[in-house]
Chains A and B, each alone.
Chain A
Amino acid sequence: DTAVSQTPKYLVTQMGNDKSIKCEQNLGHDTMYWYKQDSKKFLKIMFSYNNKELIINETVPNRFSPKSPDKAHLNLHINSLELGDSAVYFCASTEGQGLYEQYFGPGTRLTVT
């Protein structure tokens, strides 16, 4: 069984478009995250949700908007895509409020042309 799943795995789109990435976890975890990994493999937190409530919102352009319809899902909407948005986006989840291991999805490779 897939613990944390993301769709799509690959996303190629043009500048200016709006796209969404979906994430689902079947672990019963309370906290979910979005991370961005750049071309140099540097991973940085973008957002954190606990029980559908936004906990962390790092310095991310407001073109990025997370949405959590329930605690098992955390989707990422990106408006007006830019070249610099090209990266691999990882969803992750953990139990409780954190301080435990995080389970990562397989990643979504976004390429903006």
Chain B
Amino acid sequence: SQQGEEDPQALSIQEGENATMNCSYKTSINNLQWYRQNSGRGLVHLILIRSNEREKHSGRLRVTLDTSKKSSSLLITASRAADTASYFCATDAVQAGTALIFGKGTTLSVSS
């Protein structure tokens, strides 16, 4: 089945630096979403970008979507220790009904 793939799998940065995570997917989508998962917790929705949008901002988050390359990126600016978490992209592929297809995630570690 279709699946998103995040890159890199793990990322370690210092507080104040920017963190960029990439996601690629395989088939047509309605929208792409990014979620954060803190250790031992549930997933929290961060941002949703629709297939006809190219860029979206929310606070320190910036998401881009390139449907021609079937890829998306999540940029976290001025990172904080509290941003330490796993980040997942999820697509609702047209063929998949209403379920989300998740990538494997990027584990971000922000040290102070």
List the interface of chain A (C-beta within 8 A of B): 4, 31, 33, 35, 40-45, 48, 50, 55-56, 58, 90, 92, 94, 97-107
Q: Report the minimal beta-carbon distance from B94 to chain A, rounded to whole angstroms.
A: 10
A42 and B48 form a contact (CB under 8 A): no
Q: Which of A40, A56, A100, A101 contacts B99 (CB 8 A)?
A: A56
Measured CB to CB, the nearest residue on chain A to B104 is A42
Residues of B that sit less than 8 Å from A by CB: 30-31, 33, 35, 37, 40-45, 48, 86, 88, 92, 96-102, 104-105
A102 to nearest B CB, angstroms? Answer: 6
Cβ of B99: which chain A residues have Cβ within 8 Å of it? Answer: 33, 45, 48, 56, 58, 98
- CB pair A104–B43 under 8 Å, yes or no, is yes
